[in-house]
């Protein structure tokens, strides 16, 4: 069933890529190779994103112990055991008992341990002299990937014999890391949910995470099937999605600034390069925002839903800029079709895809209202509108619902999630998800919970991971928050964009309206939500913040001047007028990159001193930011 779902999604996705490629080929190559702007940004970002993503080697065989069934281990001679190291499998909180013996006949009293988070290494102190060890699981579902005993932090004790039922515990010694607790070798943050569930889907086990629809976990499983159950494997697909989303984002930005530049006459060459410049600027701002970087590198499902959201808004904008007066009706359906497909993907990944769907619906009706005003210029307006509405039933209801339902096929292959057939599993999971999001999360509390207004000002980063390294006392940390220049600069850009909707000087009010609707679609639901919320819920808003920053810097200087010109701008005048706002954009881009590099250690997990964080990364109210511990 998993293969079937992969094939269905792949076919739809390939057709989407072909459609984008057609646009790429007919638009980029005509721009005198300006497509390199997008390519360079994507390549540079990808280099950062995939560097230090996670270890490519990790134990793959698993020991599945039965309750009260012992495994005996022999070191061949009495040895001083100071530490036990093990990697937990797809379970956590399981208890096992260790007994020790010099001769294999007389055993010490049992010593109990509890496993930690799933697919994470753990090191525990023992301090015992022994030759034989007996391990007995005292709970069911006991799942260990690999185990080792040490005489010191960096010295392993060789196992000369282990009873047959425990062979999988000691068969991949060469994959045991010395520095085992860091994020490069173990799960962190929400990786205790999603990679574990993806692994369970692959192996037909009972799934752990059921609070979101299946598609994101299915996609996550592709990386695991390619690279194994390794940190790199369970983070690969999300990171790849973070890279790929820059392409539709760039196309969206390019379309927006092409439309803005239509009002500049007799300067076609300058207009072309100008659109590429501003699209590249917006893409760079989005790419090197901290939230985009951090949230797409963790083994979670947010990357996929954001990729699909960018794509669906791109296709809706493409629909809004069509020439309805001259274009055949069927051709106007194409962007709506792909918008509906990506909407289905988004909702089948996470329910906040519904927020994007609401924004898309508002934009669609805005476009329809604009066409109504221009109805005398559109042949057979009422007939075309009626047929479009009829087609939208298929595009935005039938197709998304079908994609959503198909995403549940893998759940039929797991054991004991729900009892019953496909539709019963589907129905019961909807009820459970509703109860979780509307009831359970209503009263939930979390140390790093934050209300929506704190997101606007980047008030409180959310610490995903922290570790103090032994001996060196260096600190590692990974936090989710925004690039200060992007999030703080985005607020005046948002206000300016709202102003431009109503300003008389605005040549195309659809552009600022589109950006504001997209932004508010992902903010308004959290204004009224009574449940616990987190800063990473603001991630989709960063899409529109980045576009509004570019829009505000360009429009505020360039088009205000053009609006005061009685004659169309000549090429020289155009260049003269846009030098200043390009300079501002370049300065903004430089600050964005500089801050990204400055904060790089605490969004990547690079070891740094506490003094560095306190001195350089905490300013003003930011002194309370908990970036490392």
486 domain residue, yes or no: no
pLDDT at 565: 44
Q: Please say which residue of 153, 175, 197 terminates a domain.
A: 175
Q: How many domains does the chain have?
A: 2
**Under 8 Å CB-to-CB from 395, ≥6 apart: which residues?**
333, 336, 337, 339, 340
Residues in the chain with pLDDT values less than 70: 1-34, 153, 180, 263-272, 413-417, 557-579
**Dihedral-angle region of residue 106 (phi above 0 means left; psi in -120 to 50 means alpha; beta otherwise):** beta
Query: Residue 441's domain spans which residues?
Result: 2-54+231-446+514-601
Residues 392 and 524 in one domain: yes
Residues 360 and 279 in one domain: yes
Q: Please say which residue of 157, 175, 193 terminates a domain.
A: 175
The pTM for the full model equals 0.89
143 domain residue, yes or no: yes
Residues 355 and 247 in one domain: yes
91 domain residue, yes or no: yes
Residues 115 and 148 in one domain: yes
Residues 103 and 170 in one domain: yes
Question: CATH code at 95?
Answer: 2.60.120.260
Residues 141 and 259 in one domain: no
Residues 81 and 28 in one domain: no
Distance of CA 98 to the CA centre of its chain: 41
Residues 38 and 159 in one domain: no
Burial of 328 (0-12, 13-18, 19+ CB in 10 A): exposed
593 domain residue, yes or no: yes
541 domain residue, yes or no: yes
Nearest to 329 by CA among 261, 270, 391: 391
Residues 298 and 350 in one domain: yes
457 domain residue, yes or no: no
pLDDT at 443: 75
Residues 246 and 155 in one domain: no
459 domain residue, yes or no: no
What does the longest C-alpha to C-alpha distance in the chain come to? 101
The terminus-to-terminus CA distance of the chain in angstroms comes to 45
Separation CA 587–CA 222 (nearest Å)? 40
Residues 258 and 400 in one domain: yes
Residues 404 and 534 in one domain: yes
How many CA within 13 A on the CB side of residue 155? 6
Q: Assess contact for 530 and 442: CB atoms under 8 A.
A: yes
pLDDT at 564: 47
Burial of 25 (0-12, 13-18, 19+ CB in 10 A): exposed
197 domain residue, yes or no: no
Tokens of 260: 């803005």
């Amino acid at each position: 069933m998993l293969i079937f779902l992969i094939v269905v999604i792949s076919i739809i996705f390939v057709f989407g890529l072909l459609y984008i490629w057609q646009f790429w080929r007919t638009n980029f190559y005509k721009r005198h190779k300006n497509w390199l702007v997008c390519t360079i940004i994507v390549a540079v970002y990808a280099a950062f994103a995939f560097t230090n993503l996670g270890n490519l080697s990790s134990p793959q065989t698993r020991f599945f112990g039965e309750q009260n069934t012992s495994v005996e281990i022999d070191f061949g001679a009495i040895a001083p055991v100071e530490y036990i190291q093990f990697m937990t499998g797809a379970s956590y909180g399981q208890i096992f008992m260790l007994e020790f013996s010099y001769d294999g006949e007389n055993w010490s009293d049992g010593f109990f341990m509890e496993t930690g988070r799933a697919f994470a290494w753990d090191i525990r102190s023992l301090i015992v002299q022994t030759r034989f060890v007996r391990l007995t699981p005292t709970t069911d579902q006991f799942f260990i990937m690999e185990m080792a005993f040490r005489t010191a932090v960096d010295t392993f004790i060789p196992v000369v014999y282990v009873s047959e039922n425990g062979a999988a515990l000691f068969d991949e010694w060469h994959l045991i890391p010395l520095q085992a607790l860091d994020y490069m070798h173990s799960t962190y943050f929400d990786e205790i949910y999603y990679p574990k569930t993806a692994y369970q889907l692959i192996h037909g086990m009972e799934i752990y995470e059921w609070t979101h629809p299946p598609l994101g976990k299915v996609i996550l499983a592709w990386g695991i099937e390619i690279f194994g159950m390794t940190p790199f494997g369970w983070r690969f697909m999300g990171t790849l999605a973070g890279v790929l989303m820059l392409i539709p984002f760039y196309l969206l930005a390019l379309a927006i600034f092409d439309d803005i530049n239509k009002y500049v006459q007799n300067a076609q060459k300058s207009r072309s390069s100008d659109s590429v410049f501003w699209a590249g600027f917006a893409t760079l701002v989005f790419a090197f925002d901290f939230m985009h970087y951090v949230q797409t590198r963790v083994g979670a499902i947010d990357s996929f839903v954001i990729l699909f959201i960018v794509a669906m808004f791109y296709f809706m904008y493409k629909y809004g800029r069509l020439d309805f007066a001259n274009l055949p009706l069927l051709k106007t359906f194409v962007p709506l079709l792909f918008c509906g497909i990506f909407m289905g993907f988004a909702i089948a990944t996470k329910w906040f895809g519904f927020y994007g769907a609401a924004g898309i619906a508002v934009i669609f009706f805005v476009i329809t209202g604009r066409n109504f005003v221009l109805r005398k210029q559109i042949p057979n307006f009422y007939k075309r509108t009626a047929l479009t509405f009829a087609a939208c039933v298929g595009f935005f209801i039938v197709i998304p619902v079908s994609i959503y339902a198909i995403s549940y096929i893998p759940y039929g292959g797991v054991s004991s999630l729900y009892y019953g057939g496909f539709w019963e599993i589907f129905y019961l999971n909807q009820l459970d998800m509703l109860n979780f999001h509307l009831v359970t999360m209503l009263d939930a509390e979390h140390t790093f919970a934050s209300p929506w207004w704190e997101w606007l000002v980047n008030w409180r980063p959310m610490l995903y991971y922290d570790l103090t390294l032994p001996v060196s006392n260096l600190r590692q940390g990974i936090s989710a928050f925004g690039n200060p220049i992007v999030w703080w600069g985005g607020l005046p850009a948002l206000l300016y964009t709202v102003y431009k909707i109503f300003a008389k000087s605005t040549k195309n009010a659809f552009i600022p309206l589109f950006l504001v609707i997209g932004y508010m679609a992902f903010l308004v639901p959290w204004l009224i939500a009574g449940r616990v919320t987190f800063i990473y819920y603001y991630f989709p808003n960063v899409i529109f913040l980045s576009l509004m920053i570019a829009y505000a810097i360009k429009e505020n200087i360039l088009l205000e001047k053009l609006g005061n010109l009685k004659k169309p701008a000549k090429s020289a005048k155009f260049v003269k007028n846009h030098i200043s706002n390009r300079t501002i954009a370049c300065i903004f881009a430089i600050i964005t990159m500089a801050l990204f590099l400055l904060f790089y250690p605490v969004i990547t997990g690079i070891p740094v001193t506490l003094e560095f964080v306190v001195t350089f990364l905490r300013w003003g109210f930011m002194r309370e930011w908990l970036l490392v511990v």
